[in-house]
């Protein structure tokens, strides 16, 4: 069974429209008026961009720009956004070859021909291949396909944690006899072979916490 793949009748216009999208603000509705008046592409063949954009997930069926459209306008997300758009619009290509973006023009043409059922030298196959290739120039398939903000756990430190149930300043020296019962103090001792350092630490504890 043949499958339809996205294409523009004016394939050379595709990258030009995409560049204009980056410069222009996001419209409430991406229609022929916006494409022609705001972006400067009023031609009949140029209007086929809207069909291509809907099939690739940049626009909803009613022409509303999607989050993918907005991500594409962001320079930090543009490559991943286009890669996702191509995987959406040309899903069958990537189903048959996970690395469709790396195919030679000859192999890509052959694959498109097999999917659409059209001869390899037909105008439709040529337009699909050119549209895919022109859009691919904006894509980054190597970047990790994940959310921009990820909640990655912070690496744990090998250094033991120090926890004090109550600030040292709040410890009443008069309760020194019950210190072991009322307070828990965990110390992180430095890695050293110098006994003088340990003597200094415990001397300070004794003078400030244990002695009245």
pTM over 0.75: no
Please list the residues that pair with 185 across neighbouring strands: 164
In 3D space, the residue among 135, 145, 141, 138 whose CA is nearest the CA of residue 53 turns out to be 135
Q: Is the pLDDT of residue 178 over 80?
A: no
Q: Answer yes or no: are the C-beta atoms of 112 and 93 closer than 8 Å.
A: yes
Q: Is the pLDDT of residue 62 over 90?
A: yes
- The structure tokens listed for 24 are 């222009």
Would you state the pLDDT for residue 185?
A: 65
Residues 6+ apart with CB under 8 A from 24: 38, 39
Higher pLDDT residue, 102 or 161? 102
Q: Answer yes or no: are the C-beta atoms of 24 and 38 closer than 8 Å.
A: yes
Q: How deeply is 80 buried, as exposed, middle or buried, from its count of CB atoms within 10 A (0-12, 13-18, 19+)?
A: buried
In 3D space, the residue among 88, 69, 79, 82 whose CA is nearest the CA of residue 6 turns out to be 88
Stretch 56-77: mean pLDDT = 98
């Amino acid at each position: 069974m043949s499958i339809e793949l996205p294409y523009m009748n004016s394939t050379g216009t595709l990258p030009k429209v995409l560049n204009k999208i980056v410069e222009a603000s996001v419209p409430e509705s991406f229609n022929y008026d916006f494409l022609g008046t705001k972006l400067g592409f009023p031609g009949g063949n140029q209007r086929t961009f809207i069909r291509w954009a809907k099939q690739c997930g940049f626009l909803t069926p009613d022409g509303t720009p999607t989050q993918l459209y907005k991500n594409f306008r962001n320079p930090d997300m543009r490559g991943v956004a286009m890669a996702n758009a191509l995987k959406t619009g040309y899903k069958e290509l990537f189903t048959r070859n996970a690395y469709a973006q790396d195919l030679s023009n000859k192999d890509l043409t052959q694959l498109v021909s097999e999917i659409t059922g059209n001869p390899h030298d037909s105008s439709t196959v040529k337009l699909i291949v050119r549209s895919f290739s022109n859009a691919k120039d904006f894509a980054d398939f190597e970047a990790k396909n994940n959310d921009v903000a990820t909640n990655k756990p912070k690496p744990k430190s090998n250094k033991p944690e120090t926890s004090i149930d109550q600030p040292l300043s709040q410890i009443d020296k008069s309760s020194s006899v019950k210190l072991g019962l009322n307070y828990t103090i965990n110390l992180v001792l430095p890695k050293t072979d110098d006994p003088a350092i340990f003597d200094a630490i415990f001397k300070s504890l004794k003078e400030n916490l244990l002695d009245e």
